[in-house]
């Protein structure tokens, strides 16, 4: 159960995806979120993502989604940029 003032953090890194084991404040700033996911991925702390000592999320996008009926918890998503289509 994720409290209303907290958020789950989902990370995509090199085609792998997982959630941080712990929730964070829904108001956590981008810098803190980047630092937490960097430390977690480098240390192998994200289930579903292999430890990568060179993980770097500097250019990644941080999206924030408010809880809704389909997903009853706040979500912070850390993902690579997606500039390509054609």
Partner 1 sequence: MVGVGALGSHVVQLLRNERATLRVIDFDKVEQKNVASQFHGKPGVGKPKVLALKQAMQFLFARDLETIPHRLAADNAKELLGAGDLVIDCLDNGASRRILQDFVRTAGIACVHGALAADGGFGRVVWDEAFAIDDEQAGGAATCDDGAHLPFVAIASAYLARAAQEFLATGRKIGFEINPGGAIRA
Q: Which residues bind partner 1 (CB under 8 A)?
A: 12-17, 48, 59, 61, 63, 70, 77, 79-86
Beta carbon nearer to partner 1, 1 or 59: 59
Tell me the closest approach of the beta carbon of residue 66 to partner 1, in angstroms: 12
Name the residue nearer to partner 1 (CB basis): 5 or 61.
Answer: 61
Kindly state the smallest distance separating residue 71's Cβ from partner 1, in Å: 9
From CA 37, how far away is CA 68, in angstroms rounded? 24
Least CB distance from residue 23 to partner 1, whole Å?
Answer: 18
CB 75 within 8 A of CB 8: yes
Place of tokens 């993902």: 79
Got the DSSP string for 62-77? EEEE---SSS-SEEEE
Nearer to partner 1, 16 or 35 (CB): 16
The whole-angstrom separation of Cα 6 and Cα 13 is: 23
């Amino acid at each position: 159960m994720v409290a209303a003032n907290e958020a789950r953090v989902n990370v995509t890194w090199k085609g792998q995806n997982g959630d941080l084991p712990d929730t964070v404040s829904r108001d956590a700033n981008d810098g803190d979120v980047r630092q937490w996911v960097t430390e977690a991925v480098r240390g192998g702390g994200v289930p579903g993502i292999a430890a990568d000592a060179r993980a770097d999320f500097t250019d990644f996008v941080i999206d924030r989604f408010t809880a809704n009926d389909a997903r009853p918890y706040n979500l912070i998503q850390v993902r690579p940029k997606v500039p390509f289509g054609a």
